[in-house]
A and B are shown apart, each in its own frame.
Chain A
Amino acid sequence: MKVGVPRALLYYRYGRFWEEFLTGLGAEVVVSRRTDKVLLQNGLGHVSSEVCLPIKIMAGHLEQLAGQVDVIFLPRLLWLEDKLYACPKMIGIVDIARMMFDGRVPLVAPKIRGSLWLPHFLAGMELCHDPVRVVRALARARRFLPAHDRVPDFPAGEKRVALIGHFYNLEDDFISRPMVDTFTEHGYRICTKDELPGSVLRSRQGFARKIRWVYERELYNAFRFLVDKVTGVCVIVSMGCGPDSLVAEFMREEAQQQDVPFLQLVIDEHSGTAGIVTRVEAFLELAERRRAKAFEIADCRLAGRGKRPDPSARE
């Protein structure tokens, strides 16, 4: 049996787990191709124009899989531990997919409420009817669940920028390529939330406790953790993303208070690469200038005079 997994949204977090799990069940896994322009264009026709870019991309991936597979595996994330909800569109995408296919392609959509295991077990039973095999497949796939428990190093003197955005935006090359490339070209190390340990991301301190969206809480915690370790913060928001429109506002304010350069990039299917590159470069220039100025002030204070220190002696 051919089981299709769309390479979008949750795939970027649980993809390897799912692939291993489905292979363990004896299914042939077909993952949709990487996002490209054509795929996105196909997706646009299936959803309203107001939803966010990742959902449009998801529709494209579903469309691409439709003809090739017997069944599509599309888990529905309702909430994770601590009753942290997924965003409405992520919950609704399964219904959109169901209406899109209209019974042409059956969906296997485990409903994840808190724990991953029971829904995946039931979904596995739907596909292979052998409980022992399902349990075995799950046990084998388990090690592919994303788990970071080590805090990355932040050596001094390194140029760093925090790229705060949902994993399904950052890890989709089609969306994040222009920003990532520009930052790397300028010699910046990119820090994202996905390299931080779970203990940091799940922290309930401060405003994070009040955020009831699972991935927004992670974003906010990552921002809090990274903000004093980087030269600048770049937040990537999809146009029409409800949770981001709120949480980015809180981040902006905090960044301003801490005097860290802050850039909010709003992306949609029309955002051109050139525009994004220009904005990112302008932002980097500003951040560097501000950093240089901060050094100057510090040096002046050290010297105890208003005299400008020799720029070559800096650092």
Chain B
Amino acid sequence: MKASFPNLGYDTYALKTFIEDLGAEVILAPPNSRRTIELGAMHSPELICMPYKITLGNMLEALELGADTLFMAAGARKCRFGYYHYLHERALKSLGKECRFIPITQYSPLEFVFKVMPDIFGVSPVRVVRAVAKMLTKSRLTQEFRQYLNRKRAIDFDGAESVKPKALAVIERAHTLRQIESARGEVRRLFNLNGTEPQIRLGLVGEIYFMIEQFASQEIEKELGKMGAEVVFERSLYRHIRHLLFSDPAFVRSERLAHRYLEESPGGEAIRTVGEAVYFQQQGLDGIVHIFPFTCMPENIALEALQKLSEETGIPVLSLSFDEHTSRTGLLTRLEAFVDLVKRRKLGRRLHRN
């Protein structure tokens, strides 16, 4: 079996390890590029949201490289994401692509471990549990890597960018649990942060695909880092999977905090987006950047809540929606203006206090 799956930012490595552990060969889709998104958009309904287009592009490119089995996450009934796989499957079929398409539904971890995975790969549930444990550890590693990277970028951008490939190589190399543990220390040493504090810190909230896959948001973390702002985030694959399997304290807290604005979950991750924003505000972060795909339903509801939060507490909020036509220049201008505003606010406050 030559398995492939859509890219998922730095967590692609974690997913790759998972499938390799179950005994399949993994063919990674080429890194996301202009071509990926154009390929995807060409075969997508015009009004669908952007993650669909990129993931479809990934699949088509992976098939070109010889993959014969495609995995795709599925779930969340109130949000369009739950229906992606039907469309994906039909799109691939109508293009005449021969492949096995396996949607992996969320929200039933027991079934996943004892039924779905053993059936597909012909392995024992024990092996699946071990593979899941390893994937979790590895995705925690990538989460830490992202945190270090974002802080380092704000302090020393060129240094961070030169360390990044080295650290990624370390992450990719780590295969066993022990290696992953030692890789954690190595990544920390590589970034060599020594408790330096960046000038300003911004909280990043939004739709999960955009939070994880850097290409989708046009590497917003990098751009903000270049402008000297550390990007703090809470949403990650690690937390997401942990929340599905057990319960993630950060997510539970978000759901509690969001209740003031959203009484009922409108689906997707809107409630977490709002909860995280409230938390970041309480933690004294300097601003909030909210990213989501154009016409995303739950995040548009979250947007209203964030505006209200900004109105009530005075924390600056920048909401950005993306699709394949989002202009990079326009985005940079908005980010620059926002970072400028946040910096000035903070500096002004400090002057006032002195």
Contacts and interface: CB of A to CB of B under 8 A. Distances in A.
A237 B298 CA distance: 18
B257 interface: no
Contacts of B90: 253
A108 to B, nearest CB: 13
Nearest to A87: B297
Interface in B300-332: 300-301, 303-305, 307-308, 319, 321
Contact of B295 (A91, A94, A211, A242): A242
Given A48-B303, A212-B82, A245 B48 contact: yes
B78 A89 contact: no
Interface in A32-55: 47-48, 50-51
A84 to B, nearest CB: 9
A88 B47 contact: no
Given A50-B295, A253-B90, A88 B301 contact: yes
A245 B266 contact: no
Interface in B35-83: 45-49, 77-80, 82-83
A313 interface: no
A8 B80 CA distance: 24
Contact of A95 (B80, B83, B304): B304
A47 B48 CA distance: 21
Given A50-B300, A92-B266, A95-B263, A242 B49 contact: yes
A240 B303 CA distance: 15
A94 B263 contact: yes
Interface residues of B, number: 37
B279 interface: no
A89 B305 contact: no
B30 interface: no
B305 A88 contact: no
Which range holds the interface residue count of chain A?
A: 35 or more
Interface string B276-302: 000000000000000000111110110
Contacts of A96: 301, 304
A92 B86 contact: no
B267 interface: yes
A94 B206 CA distance: 21
A245 B296 CA distance: 11
A246 B301 contact: no
A56 B282 CA distance: 31
Interface in A2-50: 47-48, 50
Nearest to A47: B304
B80 A91 contact: no
B236 to A, nearest CB: 23
Contacts of A76: 264
A87 B296 CA distance: 12
Given A76-B264, A89-B266, A243 B304 contact: no
Given A89-B266, A91-B264, A253-B90, A50 B321 contact: yes
Interface of B: 45-49, 77-80, 82-83, 86-87, 90, 261-268, 270, 294-298, 300-301, 303-305, 307-308, 319, 321
Interface of A: 47-48, 50-51, 76, 78, 85, 87-89, 91-92, 94-96, 98-99, 111, 207, 210-213, 237, 239-246, 248-250, 253, 266
20 contacts: A50-B300, A50-B303, A50-B321, A51-B300, A76-B264, A85-B267, A87-B78, A88-B267, A88-B268, A89-B300, A92-B264, A95-B263, A95-B304, A207-B86, A210-B83, A212-B78, A239-B47, A242-B295, A243-B80, A249-B45
